[in-house]
Chains A and B, each alone.
Chain A
Amino acid sequence: GAVVSQHPSRVICKSGTSVKIECRSLDFQATTMFWYRQFPKQSLMLMATSNEGSKATYEQGVEKDKFLINHASLTLSTLTVTSAHPEDSSFYICSALRGSRGDTQYFGPGTRLTVL
């Protein structure tokens, strides 16, 4: 299998605080992980691509200083939402690339962030 976990599954925080979300590939090593954002009844929007040991690549319009990504190991990537505001409330989903040619991305269960 290709199992990806996320923690926490749900978080509520006050405006102005920072929140860290972890994404782990449990049964494979992932040199590349991705972070998506999904608003209700909408599709996934790629925020950034995270490569182990190097800086993340952010999509146009995504603030890299606000959404800090760290991919310190082959099984762990973290997304930190800094100085969160209510408009950052969303469903954040990570995925991991298993790395084999012809393979695809495997998604975590998502983290629902609510900023009060």
Chain B
Amino acid sequence: QKEVEQDPGPLSVPEGAIVSLNCTYSNSAFQYFMWYRQYSRKGPELLMYTYSSGNKEDGRFTAQVDKSSKYISLFIRDSQPSDSATYLCAMSADSSASKIIFGSGTRLSIRP
């Protein structure tokens, strides 16, 4: 069993829809949770960074962490074609972020 599970997709939704991306994990030691966006042939770009359980909002993006269920989510409101990318969840057990475990990534496509 992988430490972090993420549905690879692809996920295709119409422009303006709300997108929900999810990951599950097995290691209860994870405390820090991240979402990265990666465009084709580019490096990952940090979108959201949260600590422990709860919600965090930044513009059209909302990250949720439920440690009791070992489940994290990223919601994208009013999705745009420019949001089309691969989204990677990632998590770490320590604040130094020296060991990050990545999900396999979900390919998202927003149809105009």
Contacts and interface: CB of A to CB of B under 8 A. Distances in A.
Interface of A: 4, 6, 32, 41-44, 46, 49, 91, 93, 95, 97, 101-110, 112
Interface stretch (B56-64, B69-77, B94-102): B94-102
B44 interface: yes
B98 A49 contact: yes
A95 B105 CA distance: 18
A76 B89 CA distance: 27
A101 B96 contact: yes
A43 B107 CA distance: 11
B34 interface: yes
16 contacts: A4-B43, A6-B43, A42-B105, A43-B102, A43-B103, A46-B99, A93-B44, A97-B98, A102-B32, A104-B49, A104-B92, A104-B97, A104-B100, A107-B43, A107-B44, A112-B41
B98 A32 contact: yes
Contacts of B99: 46
Interface in B42-56: 42-46, 49, 51
Contact of A110 (B42, B97, B105): B42
B102 A105 contact: no
Given A102-B51, A104-B49, A93 B43 contact: yes
Contacts of B102: 43-44
A46 B99 CA distance: 9
Given A104-B34, A104-B49, A109-B42, A43 B105 contact: yes
B41 A97 contact: no
Nearest to A57: B98
A91 B41 contact: yes
A42 B97 CA distance: 21
Nearest to B101: A46
